[in-house]
Structures are given as C-alpha cells and as structure tokens.
Structure 1
Amino acid sequence: MLLEGKVAVVTGSGGGIGREIALAMAAAGAKIVINDVGASLGGEGFSASPAEQTKALIEQRGGQAVINTDSVAEWESAKRIVQCAVDSFGRIDIVVNNAGILRDQIFHRMTPEEWLSVIAVHLNGSFFVSRAAAEFYRKQESGSFVHMTSTSGLIGNFGQANYSAAKLGIAALSKSIALDMKRYNVRSNCIAPFAWSRMTSSIPAETPEQKARVERIARMGPEKNAPLAVFLASDAAKEVSGQIFAPRMHELFLFNQSRPIKSVHSENGWTPEKIAEIALPAFRSGFTPLDRSGDVFSWDPV
C-alpha cells in the first residue's frame, strides 16, 4: 500500500492509460479524483460515462473515488479539479497530468486551431493543474507530479508538430517544477508511455512497415504504465525528481536530457566561412539523425 493515506488527481482517467493509473493508485491505497470530460480523441463532445465506469471499477475493488468533469485547458476549471480533491478528501498529494487529445496533421497543412487545441490540453493543461496544486503542496511541504510526455516529442514523429511540441514542452515544464519546488519537498517526473490506447489507435497502418509497428504497439496494454506511475507518486521515489522514464512492455527506460556533446574553439572568433570549413566537419559525426520514435524503438517488445 505505497499510497496509503494519499489523495491523487488523475486527469484523463476515464479510459486507457489514465484509467489504469487511477485503478493502480486506488489499489495502492490512494483516494482518487477521476477527472475526465469524456470527449472524443479529437476533443469534441462531453460524457460522464467514461469517468463513471472508472469510478465503478475502483469501488468494486474496495477503493474510494469521486468524479470531476472540468476541463484542464482553462485556469479556472483546472483550479476546480484540484479543489475537488481538497473538498472531497481533505488534501491533495499526487497529480497525474494524463489528459490529452490528438489533431494529427502534416506540418504544412496544420491549421492554427489544430495547433492551439492540442497545446491547450496537453501543455497548458499540465501547467494549469500543476500550478493549482502547487499552492497546497507548498503549504504542506510535500507532493508529487507525474506528467505524461511522449517519444513523439523526445525523439520525433511524422504529422504531430502540435503534439510533439506540447510533449517536449511538458518535459521542460516538469524539470522547471522540480527545480523550483525542491525546497518544498515536491517532486516532478515524466513518463513517456508505450501502450495501445485511443492516443495510438490513430497511427497510420497502410504500409507493411506501418502495420508491423502497429502490431507491436498493440501488444502493449495501457496497464503496463501504471506501476511506474504509482512508484513515482510514492515516498519510495522520494529521491527521484526531474527525470524522464518510459515503460515498454517489460522494459523500463531512463532518458537522457539535452547536454552539449561537442565543442570547437576559434581564437579569433567565427565567420560563416570558418564555420563551414572547421565547425561543420567537427560537428557532423555528432548530429542527431532525423529519427522517428519507431526508428529508435524498432525491436519487438518482450
């Protein structure tokens, strides 16, 4: 019971990865705020049914949960999500920023609305909910954030400029929270999940290579991400903050973070011509290739 006595808000927990994390945290002893607007993958519509299904599962297993259907994408509604935890259970200890939508589109065809809507839910939503919880975390001098990033942002992917930018931004947000709130014993970490869910069901499967990739992903259920989320939210991870992890079937990965890898020096400074003549050849072997997530994680999950 790693989370005995703790209260967790799990956004986007009406299904998929969020539901499995909510179930696992409840099984570990936490009281859960199930936040979900019940929208489609693209963010349209509203339904309380997904959240109600998660609540029923938690209660069938002896846990406690309440439902909140506020959007993460607005500051005032994000504050209501966090206040729901305090009003219902007296405190808040854990925030899992999992809510998300997809509006995939090749970059040169992406509309401003497709860009803004994804940024609003993923990046703004992660900030708003975290910022609302930070007030309570500071006063009690404890708390944990678990944010969902993605290899689409950490590595790259086709047709996901909006999603990739948001997810890489979340990694930077998490690091900033970890630095700024360390003095209050608050931790912030990221998970880059691998799982077959609504968020991956839209991956194209037209070519033989794409079909093979989708088949690999389909083997990884959303529940594979829950143990890591429970660990990171618990006191067992009290020394872990500012890190990025990925669970992939039975594998766990720790991601590196951007650091200088090569340098060159010119005593008299640089001209464009000297950069082309000296710096480019020195740097070329260190260039990061234009990989996609599927190129880097190319082996079958076991």
Structure 2
Amino acid sequence: MTIRFDDKVVIVTGAGGGLGKQHALEFARRGAKVVVNDLGGAVDGSGGASDAANTVVEEIKAEGGEAIANGSSVADKEGVSKMVSETMEKWGRIDILVNNAGILRDKSFHKITTEEFDQVMDVHFQGSFYASHAVYPIMREQNFGRIIFTTSSGGLCGNFGQANYGAAKMGMIGLMNCLKIEGQKYNVFSSAVAPVALSRMTDSLFPEGIGERFMPEYVTPAVIYLASEESENGAIIGAGAGVFTRFRILETMGLALGTGDNMTPENIAAGWDSVSDMEDARELFSGPEQTIKILEQADKS
C-alpha cells in the first residue's frame, strides 16, 4: 500500500522552511495540491515576507507538483480567512490542514512579560484555532478532513523557560480532543505530532554533532500517516531521528473512599500508591467516560 493524496488539497502553515517545508514537499510528491503558507518572519515572529513560501512553491513545481504560496500570518484571523477563501477559489476543496507555524519567546516564568506570553499563544494556539475553525466546515461538508496539530513535549511534559510555548502546545491537545469527537462521524479526524527536529527554532538546543540525527524530514512520515485515510482519530505521535512513538493520556482506576467519614485528605495521602497505580489505567476517548468510570468505582466501594 502506498499512501497518496491525488486530487486532495493540503494547507501547511509555517511551510517556508524546517518541518513545514519538508511536509509540503512530501505531500506534493504524493500527489497533493499544496498551499505553502509562511509569513517569512524571524524565529521570534518579527518581520515578515512570503519569499520563503514562494521558494518552496518553486521547488514543488520543479519536481512536477502543484502549489501556491500564501504569506498570511496565522495569528491574523482575517488573513487566515482570506487564505482559505483563495484556496477554495483555486481548487474548490480543502482536505488536510497541518498546523505547523510557530515562534519562540523563551524566558523563565518570573521574567516573561504578558506580551511575550500572548505573542506565542497568538501564533501557536490562536493560529491553529483560526485555521482549524476556517477549514472545519468545509471538511465536514465534504465528509473528509484531516487536521494535524504540531504539539511538543514542552507542553505534554513541560520544559524550563517555555511556559508560553508549553501552554500553547498543550492547549492544542484540548482543542484536538474535542474536534476528534465532533468530527468523527463526518470522517474529519484530528490528531497531533510532537516532533524532535533540527530547525531555526531548535538549532541552539542540540549539542554539536547531534542535530544532524534529527533532520526535519525524519518527522514528515508521521504527518503523512496522520493525514491519510488509514490514520487513527485522536492519535498523538512523537517523531524524530526515524523513531515514532505514541503519547497517551491515561487515568488510573484510583482509590474509592466512599462519601462518608473515610473521605479525608489523610486517607488520600495514606492511599496515594493506590491513587497512582497505573496497572489498570484507562485511556478515555471523551470526558463523560470519566464520570462513568468513577461511578463504577464508587459503586464497588
């Protein structure tokens, strides 16, 4: 089986370089029509021009593919709306959205300003929301869509100096988890990739000689899978250096104390090992499943 995207249209945000560029090139090689979105700004979000996007489009065309460039900032709601409208005018459908655009403003939490926090949230989270919100009705109507978020271990696990980035990246998972439920019956799947890759944003983080093991193109196969008809709804894939993993959010079966005199913080402390025991932990697809599970445990007690 070869995964192909003939007659499908994909938007990749932040596709002027790094991860986004590699995603865009591979989608085109597999038959997709590609919208290469890139503001062309610096790593911190300053500046901006679409020259980078134009360069990637020319590469795609040189390989025989079909693509158009877009220079909108994903943090600009009107710009995102215009990008989607222009894509529909050009090709009449949108099948896949890869939310990849991002900036960094790393600082420890006590030093970060509210402006620096908002700037990162605006691009990573609000930008992913604006783009997803604009394409979702189109995908729902055509009964096919794949929305892919670019999350990070900085959000899933935490990272020093990245409160803004981590909050945005974990916020995407909350959005993804709701979209996976709402879109499922319309064949609109939402998922996420957590990359470990060398790029402008991460260049200074890798020790010398290690970065070349984490080239952006080593993440792209995970994105291609998540965009395919074979993908699993709601999956979070870790990817880097040719290794592909899965992140899962689990809830333990917990400790049932009842609602009488035994329901004390002291008994939680005493039974913490039982509260934390992962042996029978479950992955929940939706929020109501937690309520059902807790009632089951409460009834057993």
TM-score, length-scaled by structure 2: 0.86
Letter in 1 for 2:14: G
In 2, the alpha carbon distance for the partners of 1:32 and 1:79 equals 17
Equivalent position to 2:165, from 163, 166, 187: 163
Task: Give the structure 2 partner of residue 25 of structure 1.
Answer: 27
- Taking the TM superposition and a 5 Å limit, the aligned residue runs for 1:218-229 are 218-229=212-223
- Structure 1 residue 77 displacement after superposition: 1.7
User: Does the alignment pair 1:270 with 2:259?
Assistant: no
CA contact (8 A) 1:13 1:51 kept: yes
Question: SS of the counterpart of 1:197?
Answer: coil
- Structure 1 residue 280 displacement after superposition: 4.2
Letter in 1 for 2:75: A
In 2, the alpha carbon distance for the partners of 1:42 and 1:137 equals 32
CA contact (8 A) 1:264 1:279 kept: no
Task: Give the structure 2 partner of residue 252 of structure 1.
Answer: 244
In 2, the alpha carbon distance for the partners of 1:273 and 1:262 equals 15
- Structure 1 residue 202 displacement after superposition: 3.9
In 2, the alpha carbon distance for the partners of 1:130 and 1:166 equals 15
Question: SS of the counterpart of 1:179?
Answer: helix
Task: Give the structure 2 partner of residue 292 of structure 1.
Answer: none
- Taking the TM superposition and a 5 Å limit, the aligned residue runs for 1:180-191 are 180-191=182-193
Question: SS of the counterpart of 1:219?
Answer: helix
CA contact (8 A) 2:34 2:66 kept: yes
Question: SS of the counterpart of 2:110?
Answer: helix
**Residues 107/137 of structure 1: CA separation in 2 closer, same or farther (3 Å cut):** same
CA contact (8 A) 1:39 1:45 kept: yes
Letter in 2 for 1:257: I
In 1, the alpha carbon distance for the partners of 2:108 and 2:277 equals 29
Equivalent position to 1:84, from 68, 83, 86: 86
Task: Give the structure 2 partner of residue 293 of structure 1.
Answer: none
- Structure 1 residue 275 displacement after superposition: 3.9
Task: Give the structure 1 partner of residue 121 of structure 2.
Answer: 119
Task: Give the structure 1 partner of residue 294 of structure 2.
Answer: none
Q: What do you get for the CA RMSD once the two structures are aligned?
A: 1.8
**Residues 241/62 of structure 1: CA separation in 2 closer, same or farther (3 Å cut):** same
CA contact (8 A) 1:175 1:243 kept: no
Task: Give the structure 2 partner of residue 174 of structure 1.
Answer: 176
List runs of 5+ in structure 2 lacking aligned partners.
279-301
> Which digits, 9 at most, give the CA deviation of each residue in 1:87-107, with x for residues without a partner?
121211000000000000001
In 2, the alpha carbon distance for the partners of 1:231 and 1:47 equals 31
Question: SS of the counterpart of 1:109?
Answer: coil
Equivalent position to 1:102, from 84, 101, 104: 104
CA contact (8 A) 1:68 1:84 kept: no
**Residues 269/80 of structure 1: CA separation in 2 closer, same or farther (3 Å cut):** farther
Q: Alignment length, in residue pairs?
A: 275
List runs of 5+ in structure 1 lacking aligned partners.
206-210, 287-302
User: Does the alignment pair 1:59 with 2:98?
Assistant: no
- Structure 1 residue 256 displacement after superposition: 1.2
In 1, the alpha carbon distance for the partners of 2:274 and 2:220 equals 43
CA contact (8 A) 1:66 1:88 kept: no
Letter in 1 for 2:240: R
CA contact (8 A) 1:70 1:78 kept: yes
**Residues 173/217 of structure 1: CA separation in 2 closer, same or farther (3 Å cut):** farther
- Structure 1 residue 285 displacement after superposition: 7.6
Identical-pair percentage: 39
- Residues 261-270 or 27-36, more deviating: 261-270
Task: Give the structure 1 partner of residue 290 of structure 2.
Answer: none
Task: Give the structure 1 partner of residue 95 of structure 2.
Answer: 93
- Structure 1 residue 229 displacement after superposition: 1.1
More contact order relative to length (CA 8 Å, sep ≥ 6) = 1
